[in-house]
Structure 1
Amino acid sequence: MTERRVRVGTEELRVDELAAKGGGQASVYTLTDRPGTVVKLYREPQGPDQERRLERMLGLTPLGGRPTNSSQPPELAWPTGVVRGLDGAFLGYAMQRFGEPDHIPLIGLFTRAQRLRWFPPRTDWKFLLGVCWNLAFMTARMHHEGLVIGDFSSNNIVVDGNGFVTLLDCDSIAFTDPGSGEHFPALMQTADYSAPERQAGGPATEHTDNFALAVLIYQLLTVGNHPFGGVPHGSSSDSTIKDNIAASCSYVVQPDKVVTPRGMIEPAILPPALLTLARQAFGPGVRSPAERPSAEDWLRALDLERGRTHTCPERPRHSYGFHLQACPWCTRAAQSGQDPFNPPPAPAPMPPPVPADPAAEPEDKSLITPGILIFWAILAAMVIAVIVAAANG
């Protein structure tokens, strides 16, 4: 196979043959010569608008100027260079690498198996609460600087072992170039996180980001449950989350109108202030974008809840909101056998085989037994009788 080479700025670099990540629009590859950098290469040739967008992005330093902990990664996987072929053709862009095992897609926090695999032993509800805070903080900072995420989903966010989040695919965000005043809209979206007006073809705005943020926070705090999951009464069994969003039908707001899967976490697991924001976002906020809680609203409420969680005395990985009198995860484990934060109990060991009692075994281990001898004697007598009868006949 011919080695693939690209240019990032003036530097010629080798591209690994296998993609580290693939999507509908592009694939991400690591660079053989620069392991800490990846390149996102578009599958189809892009027009001049996308090339110009990336060139403008290189002149910006979003979310900069804020002191951060030395262990905290950047909140944005911002482009670091335009990628071209050796012939000068525009192919994509380069960015810092955020990959496993140091950075895991946010969706990995939605299932017990992935949480236990990538985040032990910090797989409790308080950790998820902290991830929500970081997510709301990043969103609030982006909106303050006039940036709109647009394609905001669990697949475009990665999280590290400390709960810090980083937004990927920054080439799809909406922004206005401060130099030229040119506006670059967000064109991509993910159905399960798209507000109704976005589904209908409207532009990405801070309000559409606020809708997706509310969905993500709810999913994190209910260990993966989507607030628009389930099947509304009277609808077909193939009703999708996208359909439920468009119909403004959420079990969080209208539990009597939706049949939810067994084992779904009850909305009351959220502390009252957070549940109020969720019901505002998934109730009146679905149809009225301005009524959705902002990232700042979530940030203030989450900040309050982080300081007053309980830890279960029986199971240290069980933490929960101050409003609950007993550990909900222990109750859930006792009633259904499902514990979202602890590994399943190890199966009981198989008993060792019991050796046979030598005294119970027959002493004669030959193949010829008394029963077989009797059988052959009877058979021989019958044959002789037939022969005698034939001779007398």
Structure 2
Amino acid sequence: MGHGKVSNNVKLLYLDGKSAQVQHKQKAISSGADGTIYASVDGKLALKIYHDPTKDMQRQDKLWQMLAHAPTTAGFCWPIAVVSDKKNNFIGYAMPLLDLSSCHTLEMLLSKRLRESLGITESYQFRVTVAINLASKVAELHRLGHHIIDLKPANLSFDQHTGEVVILDCDGFSIQGKNKRFKGHQYTAGYIAPEAFGAKITPEKLGIGQDLFALAAILFQLLNNGLHPFQGVSRNGKLLPSDNQAKITAGLYAYAKKPHAKIKPSPWSIHTDFPEALSQAFTQSLISKLRTKASVWQQLLSAQSLQLKVCQQDANHAYWQKNCPHCQLHQSRAKVQKKTKGNNNTSAKQPSGLNAQQQSANNQTHPRTVNPSSVIMAIIVITLAIITLYSCSGSESVIKQNNSSQSPTNSNADDTAITNDRVKFTYKAAPELTVAHSLSGNVTYKSRGITSRRDSEILAEIPFYQLSAFDSAADFPLIKYSPFGAISPSVSPEVSLKKIDFEMTGSEVAKLAHRTDRLYRLDDWQYDRHNNHAYVYNCKYSPGVCTHVTQMNSGKKVSYKFNDFSAEDRLPGEKVKMSEHSYRPWRFSLTGNGKKIVMMSNFELLVYDVNNSNKPIIKQKLPEKWADWNITRLLTVNNGQRLFISLAKSEKYGINYQGFVVELSLIDGVYQITTDFSRLTGANTMSGVDVATNLAGDILAIGEYVHPEINGTKYEFFSKPIEVALAYPVISLWQKTAQGWQPLQSLENKTLTVTPNQYNPAKVLVEVPSNISDTIMHMAALLTVLSDSKIVSDLGVNRGFMFNQRGNVLLTGIDAKRRGKFTDSKVSIYKLNAARNSLSLTAELEETYTSTNSSQKTLGLKEFTYLSAALSNDGTQVAFGWFVFADAKSDDWKKTLATQQYQLDLFNVNTKPVH
């Protein structure tokens, strides 16, 4: 009996007895043989409405047991409520509506052609990561007593950026209830265990044994370029069954250590590269009933992934044994193509002995030809230089510009302002975004006790202003600071925002406590969206260095120590020979899955497992030739298997600026240089200002300077003329290809570069971005010479920029200028289509912020302005904010008060290009 037309108003019944009304959209997301899936109007739920709810009388009871025995981890389309119609008739169930915009079924990952067409990474390490995540999901279900039964690539989804796995169609599983097991009736040929198919019994009767067979088959495909474990070549011309399931039943597994009498491995297999432990686990699971458990697969794959070596010819390749099998496969393929070249037949000949099914599989799985020698290997040859106090950061803070113009102008700039071989500045009018939501506020504080520093200076050392990348307006991460000790609020119980409430709820991930002997720097705080943790720099007031990364959430504080810091009392800029374990400025980066923290200075690299803060799992020295360079940015890719580091240095006021970017890969437990971008064609010696990448790590943006000049007439320091370096800030774009990293170029073979988007762009002061750890002391030094307002932080088009996760939307850094009490700021949004070699300006975001404290009450007192912008992970929203810390006089002018102002704006981004 069919259910008939479905009303879009339904009732949700929860396990705790609560109920709710919900409305779903009329248009279905998808429809199958069993039911139709709709999205709720609020976009939070997916509702599966069965075509015939009465078909299986145990279905409703099974769903209630699924609610009572649900997995505790994410990664399952698991029911959260039972759905009934207006008459309280059972019709289906509700589950969270997952964001599958960057997800594909596992079938897409197993085919090279599909990976290429969908833009999925070719990284072998990525496939290993997916395998680990799949094993962990199956292990979680088995821990609860559930069996999937119909485990196959089509029922598995993966995120092409993170490698996280989601298991679909969970209502078809065999579910272990409180006192009863509910059957799973679905299964698919090609993944049925031989003892079930051969004995003509249903796979569900095998239970966990069926799951473990299918799991081993899928893991084999992930690790063997999509090749099914029962595909192979006839040995001695013997006739083989035509389909994989028949081969499974016959035990025709060709990849065991002991050769099979009838079948031998496919010529496109790379199974000989597998470690012995993996080979044994596959053989045991695929030709015997003593199969490897999912939890053991997870542990085994995790351990073996650490032993992977990155190929020197292609960083997408990774392998375990002596030689790269992927390169050998390419060479074999090239030989086949060479032999068949000129053949009048429309299809190339395959190696002899392959049947039609195997030919089809090979066409899907083996890679195209790549010339490995086209990749230029990294050899860093860098001359040493001395970094003075003002080369680290802030040189713009202590030098003033005269009224004369900074750079030449071009009055006829309708098409272009400046042109040369490398970069062309053009002017394009872009629509200014309008504010979708906004929040602003004021907080005033009063002194408590005697302090030698002004209250605003104390606050300025806790710049909790920086915005983090966020998933959506409904999930905006926020750190709050609760002061006690030197200051106390006179209006609000907390310094920072109690919540962000412009149709977006602030997710409080940490509450920082201010003490007289510790402080936290949030210039580069990072958010773990998987576990809702914040990671911040933990520092000391005296001598003012950062020594730890601290994990903070609502009730827990864990710290990871960077170094021994035996020379903490060394002041920045002093020419004192540093001992091996002395303090050096450093940065950290959290891996995409939130499981590891990587820390790096110009001397040493450490990696911690976040679950063990006692001892790093990796500790290694870095090249001595980096000793005089600043680490300007550290990024992790593929959950720490690859790193991107930007380094830079200069003399006073940016003179003799140099910079470069390197890619490191984890090989045999040690990070090794696999790409030095300064050695590649199209590289710029004034690089390394900053770096950003997409989640897959195959699109890279590098902050740079171009057209430098030494100017000795326009700037002064304490009223004396000084020489400074001026240049244009730009961002270069790179893409990882089969031939290695290449600069992105337009169809006209022009380098795609983000340049100043304005008439007659002015050159800016060349600066090396400040380093974490010594910035605090540097700020303290600057405070002695400042008497007016200051824009704090490293700002500029070519720093602080970021990609969305896909890498098709780029948010530039902030271009900011101060005009008395006004702060002008601008960022631009670009749409990048790497496949079509196009870069388009889509919008500009311009704001002028005015401090209401900039009145006669603050005359002669200090004020600090912090600006920050962040892009949502999907690239559809931009958050832009400013935070002002200032001293102000009380109404009777008898007291100096500390004040904080803030304004946050949220913009919706339409990434249609500007024509």
**TM-score scaled by length of structure 1:** 0.73
* Of 182, 187, 190, the match for 2:188: 190
Shift of 1:118: 4.9
The answer to whether the 8 Å contact 1:148/1:204 transfers is no
Q: Secondary structure at the match of 1:214?
A: helix
Shift of 1:229: 2.5
Q: Secondary structure at the match of 1:315?
A: coil
Task: State the one-letter code of the partner of 1:194.
Answer: I
* Of 229, 252, 255, the match for 1:252: 255
The answer to whether the 8 Å contact 1:101/1:118 transfers is no
* Of 36, 44, 54, the match for 2:44: 36
Shift of 1:195: 0.8
In 1, Cα distance between equivalents of 2:231 and 2:84: 43
Shift of 1:235: 4.2
Task: State the one-letter code of the partner of 2:90.
Answer: F
The structure-2 alpha-carbon separation of the partners of 1:224 and 1:129, relative to structure 1 and needing over 3 Å to count, comes to same
In 2, Cα distance between equivalents of 1:229 and 1:23: 30
Shift of 1:129: 1.1
Q: Secondary structure at the match of 1:28?
A: strand
Instruction: Tell whether 2:340 aligns with 1:336.
Output: no
In 2, Cα distance between equivalents of 1:218 and 1:118: 22
Could you say which residue in structure 2 is the equivalent of 1:267? Answer: 271
Q: Going by fraction, where is strand more abundant, 1 or 2? A: 2
The answer to whether the 8 Å contact 2:8/2:26 transfers is no
The structure-2 alpha-carbon separation of the partners of 1:29 and 1:14, relative to structure 1 and needing over 3 Å to count, comes to closer
Task: State the one-letter code of the partner of 2:328.
Answer: T
Could you say which residue in structure 2 is the equivalent of 1:17? Answer: 27
Task: State the one-letter code of the partner of 2:66.
Answer: M
Could you say which residue in structure 1 is the equivalent of 2:79? Answer: 79
Task: State the one-letter code of the partner of 1:101.
Answer: S
In 2, Cα distance between equivalents of 1:83 and 1:294: 35
The structure-2 alpha-carbon separation of the partners of 1:11 and 1:195, relative to structure 1 and needing over 3 Å to count, comes to same
The answer to whether the 8 Å contact 1:158/1:167 transfers is yes
Matches within 5 A, 1:95-244: 95-98=95-98, 100-116=100-116, 118=118, 120=120, 122-160=121-159, 161-178=161-178, 181-199=179-197, 200-202=200-202, 203-230=205-232, 234-235=238-239, 239-244=242-247
The answer to whether the 8 Å contact 2:142/2:208 transfers is yes
The answer to whether the 8 Å contact 1:229/1:260 transfers is yes
Matches within 5 A, 1:54-93: 54-63=63-72, 74-93=74-93
The answer to whether the 8 Å contact 1:252/1:282 transfers is no
In 1, Cα distance between equivalents of 2:210 and 2:44: 33
Q: Secondary structure at the match of 1:35?
A: coil
Shift of 1:14: 2.7
The answer to whether the 8 Å contact 2:82/2:94 transfers is yes
The answer to whether the 8 Å contact 1:53/1:184 transfers is yes
The answer to whether the 8 Å contact 1:222/1:269 transfers is no
Shift of 1:28: 2.8
Q: Going by fraction, where is helix more abundant, 1 or 2? A: 1
In 2, Cα distance between equivalents of 1:251 and 1:28: 41
The structure-2 alpha-carbon separation of the partners of 1:100 and 1:116, relative to structure 1 and needing over 3 Å to count, comes to farther
Mean CA deviation greater in 77-86 or 299-308: 77-86
* Of 37, 42, 60, the match for 1:51: 60
Shift of 1:227: 0.7
Shift of 1:171: 1.0
* Of 322, 327, 333, the match for 2:324: 327
Q: Secondary structure at the match of 2:48?
A: strand
Q: Secondary structure at the match of 2:98?
A: coil
Shift of 1:256: 4.9
Q: Secondary structure at the match of 1:192?
A: coil
C-alpha distance after superposition, 1:216-263 (max 9, x if no partner)? 1001001211112257665466x21111112222222355523776x6
The structure-2 alpha-carbon separation of the partners of 1:16 and 1:271, relative to structure 1 and needing over 3 Å to count, comes to farther
The structure-2 alpha-carbon separation of the partners of 1:277 and 1:240, relative to structure 1 and needing over 3 Å to count, comes to same
Q: Secondary structure at the match of 1:58?
A: helix
Percent identical residues: 24
In 1, Cα distance between equivalents of 2:124 and 2:261: 27
The answer to whether the 8 Å contact 1:6/1:83 transfers is no
Task: State the one-letter code of the partner of 2:25.
Answer: V
Question: Pairwise CA RMSD of aligned residues?
Answer: 2.9
The answer to whether the 8 Å contact 1:83/1:91 transfers is yes
The answer to whether the 8 Å contact 2:270/2:326 transfers is no
Which 4+ stretches in 1 moved above 6 angstroms? Answer: 340-345
The answer to whether the 8 Å contact 1:63/1:142 transfers is no
Shift of 1:92: 2.0
Task: State the one-letter code of the partner of 2:181.
Answer: H
Shift of 1:270: 2.0
The total of aligned residue pairs comes to 323
The structure-2 alpha-carbon separation of the partners of 1:192 and 1:44, relative to structure 1 and needing over 3 Å to count, comes to farther
Unaligned ranges ≥5, structure 1: 65-73, 346-393
The answer to whether the 8 Å contact 1:75/1:138 transfers is yes
The answer to whether the 8 Å contact 2:81/2:94 transfers is yes
Q: Secondary structure at the match of 1:313?
A: coil
Task: State the one-letter code of the partner of 1:258.
Answer: I
The structure-2 alpha-carbon separation of the partners of 1:218 and 1:125, relative to structure 1 and needing over 3 Å to count, comes to same
Unaligned ranges ≥5, structure 2: 13-19, 335-365, 371-735, 740-915
C-alpha distance after superposition, 1:3-25 (max 9, x if no partner)? 8514141414133424x334433
Matches within 5 A, 1:355-374: none
Instruction: Tell whether 2:284 aligns with 1:280.
Output: yes
The structure-2 alpha-carbon separation of the partners of 1:108 and 1:98, relative to structure 1 and needing over 3 Å to count, comes to farther
In 1, Cα distance between equivalents of 2:10 and 2:156: 27
In 2, Cα distance between equivalents of 1:327 and 1:260: 18
**TM-score scaled by length of structure 2:** 0.33
Q: Secondary structure at the match of 1:95?
A: strand
Mean CA deviation greater in 212-221 or 247-256: 247-256
The answer to whether the 8 Å contact 1:104/1:118 transfers is no
In 1, Cα distance between equivalents of 2:265 and 2:307: 30
The answer to whether the 8 Å contact 1:75/1:166 transfers is yes
The structure-2 alpha-carbon separation of the partners of 1:336 and 1:231, relative to structure 1 and needing over 3 Å to count, comes to closer
In 2, Cα distance between equivalents of 1:204 and 1:99: 34
